[in-house]
C-alpha cells in the first residue's frame, strides 16, 4: 500500500516567455532571440519573464551544486539541455573590517567575482549565453568587448567547440588579447572604444555569419548575471544589504541583480525593502551619470575617454533606460570617480586587504568617501560592493 511519504514532491519547471524591455509586451518566440524590434518602442533589449506561481519553494535550488548552476531551475534551460560550464559563480562574500574602519563605515562586504573562470563575472553571462548558442546549433559567435567579455566568450566557445571572434580596443592590456588567442579565438583590434568595436561587429557579423552576443542584444547574458543576485540573498541568509555598489558599464550586472531580487520577491522569498542600488562610473566615461543628472537627453551621442578601469569605458550603453529604471526604483543613484581616485583605492586595497581588485571594483571604494560627504550614505548601512574581476590582467595600466 502506498503511504503518503512515498509520494515524491512534484518539481514543476518554471515556464517563461520573452518581452520587450521597453513596454513589457510579449515578443514572438524565436529559436535564439536577439533584441526586440518593438513597433511601439523601437529597438530595445529583450527580457525573459518567468511565470511564477508563488510560493515557489527554495528547495528548487540545487544546494549540492557549487556554481551558479545551483539556480538552474530559475534559468532558461530545459532539463535535457547541458550547461557549458567551467565552474562559474558561487563566489565568496568577504567582510572588509579594516577598510570599513578606515573609511568610517559599520559594515563593508565584498562579493568577490575575481574567483570566476577567466577572472571576471563575465563568465556567468557567457556560460549561460554560449550554452544557448550551442543548443541552438550556432557555429560562430562575435563580440565587441572592453576586455573581460572577450576572454570569457573565448573560453566558453573553446569548451563548446564554437568559433569566437573578439573585437577589442587596441589599447586594451595585452593579457586580455593574449588570453583570447590562447583560447583559440580570432582577435581584431580597433582604434577607439567599445562603441567603435560594436560598429565593426555590425559589419562583420553578416559577412562572417556569426551570432552577435553583445551586451543586452540577446537575453541570456543577463540571465547568467542575475545569479549574482540569487547568491547575495542566499549567502546572506535571505537578508539583503541596505546598499549595493556596482561599477556600471553596459549594465548587465546592475539590471541582472535587480531582476533576481524582483523574481525572489515575487516567489515570496524576500519580504523586506530591497537595497539601494548605486552605480559607479569613471569620470572619463560617465554617460549614465550625465543622463541621470539631466545634462543630456540620453547616452546615444555621448563620447567617452578611455579609463584604467577598461570595463567602464562604455559610452553608449544599449540598456541605459533599464539601468536608470533600477536606480530610480531602488532609490539609488550614480556617481563618477576620477582616474587618480581609482588608482589610489586600487593600491590601498591591495596593501591593506591583500586583494588585487579589478580597477572597476576599486572604483567603488573611491566612491564611498564621496557618497558619505554628499550625505547619500551615513556609514551606518550594511553595504555590499561587487568586485567584478581580478586586477591581475590590468597591471600594464599601472605605472608604479
Residues at the site binding ligand PLP, with contacts judged by CB under 6 A? 120, 122, 148-149, 215, 247-253, 311, 358, 360, 388-389
Comparing CB distances to ligand PLP, the nearer of 67 and 307 is 307
Cα within 13 Å of Cα(122), Cβ side: 27
Comparing CB distances to ligand PLP, the nearer of 255 and 371 is 255
User: For residue 226, which phi and psi values (nearest 5 degrees)?
Assistant: -65, -20
* Min dist. Cβ of residue 182 to ligand PLP (A): 18
263 in Cβ contact with 270 (< 8 Å): no
* Min dist. Cβ of residue 388 to ligand PLP (A): 3
d(CA 328, CA 340): 29
253 in Cβ contact with 386 (< 8 Å): yes
Burial of residue 63 (CB within 10 Å: 0-12, 13-18, 19+) is exposed
Q: Which positions ≥6 away from 111 have C-beta within 8 Å?
A: 91, 92, 93, 228, 231, 232, 384, 385, 386, 387
Grid cell listed for 294: 539631466
* Min dist. Cβ of residue 222 to ligand PLP (A): 9
DSSP reduced 3-state for 24? coil
The closest of 131, 134, 127, 133 to 149, measured between CA atoms, is 127
Comparing CB distances to ligand PLP, the nearer of 224 and 241 is 224
Instruction: Count H helices and E strands in the chain, helices first.
Output: 11, 14
Comparing CB distances to ligand PLP, the nearer of 135 and 195 is 195
The closest of 175, 182, 187 to 393, measured between CA atoms, is 175
Pairing of strands 42-44, 46-50: unpaired
198 in Cβ contact with 218 (< 8 Å): no
The closest of 257, 223, 286, 249 to 144, measured between CA atoms, is 249
* Min dist. Cβ of residue 315 to ligand PLP (A): 12
* Min dist. Cβ of residue 173 to ligand PLP (A): 12
* Min dist. Cβ of residue 334 to ligand PLP (A): 12
* Min dist. Cβ of residue 134 to ligand PLP (A): 22
Distances, alpha carbon 9 to alpha carbons 1, 6, 207, 224, 268, in Å? 18, 9, 51, 27, 19
Comparing CB distances to ligand PLP, the nearer of 357 and 371 is 357
Grid cell listed for 272: 523586506
* Min dist. Cβ of residue 311 to ligand PLP (A): 3
d(CA 287, CA 315): 6
Comparing CB distances to ligand PLP, the nearer of 135 and 345 is 345
How far, in whole angstroms, is CA 230 from its chain's centroid? 13
Comparing CB distances to ligand PLP, the nearer of 215 and 330 is 215
Residue nearest to ligand PLP (CB): 311
Comparing CB distances to ligand PLP, the nearer of 92 and 268 is 92
Comparing CB distances to ligand PLP, the nearer of 267 and 279 is 279
* Min dist. Cβ of residue 360 to ligand PLP (A): 3
Amino acid at each position: 500500500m502506498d503511504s503518503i511519504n512515498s509520494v515524491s514532491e512534484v518539481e514543476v519547471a518554471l515556464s517563461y516567455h520573452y518581452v520587450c524591455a521597453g513596454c513589457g509586451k510579449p515578443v514572438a518566440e524565436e529559436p535564439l532571440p536577439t533584441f526586440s524590434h518593438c513597433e511601439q518602442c523601437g529597438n530595445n533589449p529583450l527580457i525573459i519573464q518567468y511565470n511564477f506561481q508563488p510560493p515557489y519553494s527554495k528547495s528548487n535550488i540545487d544546494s549540492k551544486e557549487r556554481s551558479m548552476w545551483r539556480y538552474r531551475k530559475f534559468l532558461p534551460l530545459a532539463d535535457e539541455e547541458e550547461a557549458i560550464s567551467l565552474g562559474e559563480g558561487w563566489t565568496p562574500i568577504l567582510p572588509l573590517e579594516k577598510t570599513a574602519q578606515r573609511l568610517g563605515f559599520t559594515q563593508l562586504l565584498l562579493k568577490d567575482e575575481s574567483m570566476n573562470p577567466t577572472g571576471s563575472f563575465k563568465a556567468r553571462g557567457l556560460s549561460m549565453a554560449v550554452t544557448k548558442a550551442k543548443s541552438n546549433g550556432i557555429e560562430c559567435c562575435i563580440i565587441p568587448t572592453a576586455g573581460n567579455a572577450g576572454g570569457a566568450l573565448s573560453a566558453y566557445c573553446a569548451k563548446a567547440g564554437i568559433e569566437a571572434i573578439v573585437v577589442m580596443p587596441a589599447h586594451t592590456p595585452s593579457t586580455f588579447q593574449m588570453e583570447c588567442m590562447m583560447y583559440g579565438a580570432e582577435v581584431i583590434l580597433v582604434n577607439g572604444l567599445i562603441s567603435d568595436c560594436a560598429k565593426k561587429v555590425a559589419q562583420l557579423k553578416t559577412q562572417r555569419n556569426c551570432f552577435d552576443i553583445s551586451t543586452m542584444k540577446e537575453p541570456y547574458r543577463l540571465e547568467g548575471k542575475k545569479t549574482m543576485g540569487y547568491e547575495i540573498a542566499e549567502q546572506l541568509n535571505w537578508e539583503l544589504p541596505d546598499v549595493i555598489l556596482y561599477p556600471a558599464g553596459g549594465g548587465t550586472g546592475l539590471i541582472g541583480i535587480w531582476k533576481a531580487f524582483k523574481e525572489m520577491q515575487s516567489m515570496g522569498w524576500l519580504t523586506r525593502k530591497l537595497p539601494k542600488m548605486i552605480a559607479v562610473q569613471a569620470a572619463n566615461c560617465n554617460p549614465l551619470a550625465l543622463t541621470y543628472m539631466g545634462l543630456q537627453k540620453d547616452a546615444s551621442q555621448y563620447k567617452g575617454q578611455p579609463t584604467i578601469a577598461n570595463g567602464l569605458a562604455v559610452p553608449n550603453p544599449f540598456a541605459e533606460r533599464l539601468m536608470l529604471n533600477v536606480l530610480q526604483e531602488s532609490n539609488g543613484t550614480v556617481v563618477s570617480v576620477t582616474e587618480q581616485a581609482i588608482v589610489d583605492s586600487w593600491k590601498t586595497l591591495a596593501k591593506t586587504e591583500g586583494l588585487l581588485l579589478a580597477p572597476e571594483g576599486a572604483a567603488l571604494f573611491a566612491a564611498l568617501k564621496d557618497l558619505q560627504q554628499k550625505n547619500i550614505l551615513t556609514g551606518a548601512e550594511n553595504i555590499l560592493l561587487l568586485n567584478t574581476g581580478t586586477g591581475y590582467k590590468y597591471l600594464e595600466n599601472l605605472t608604479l
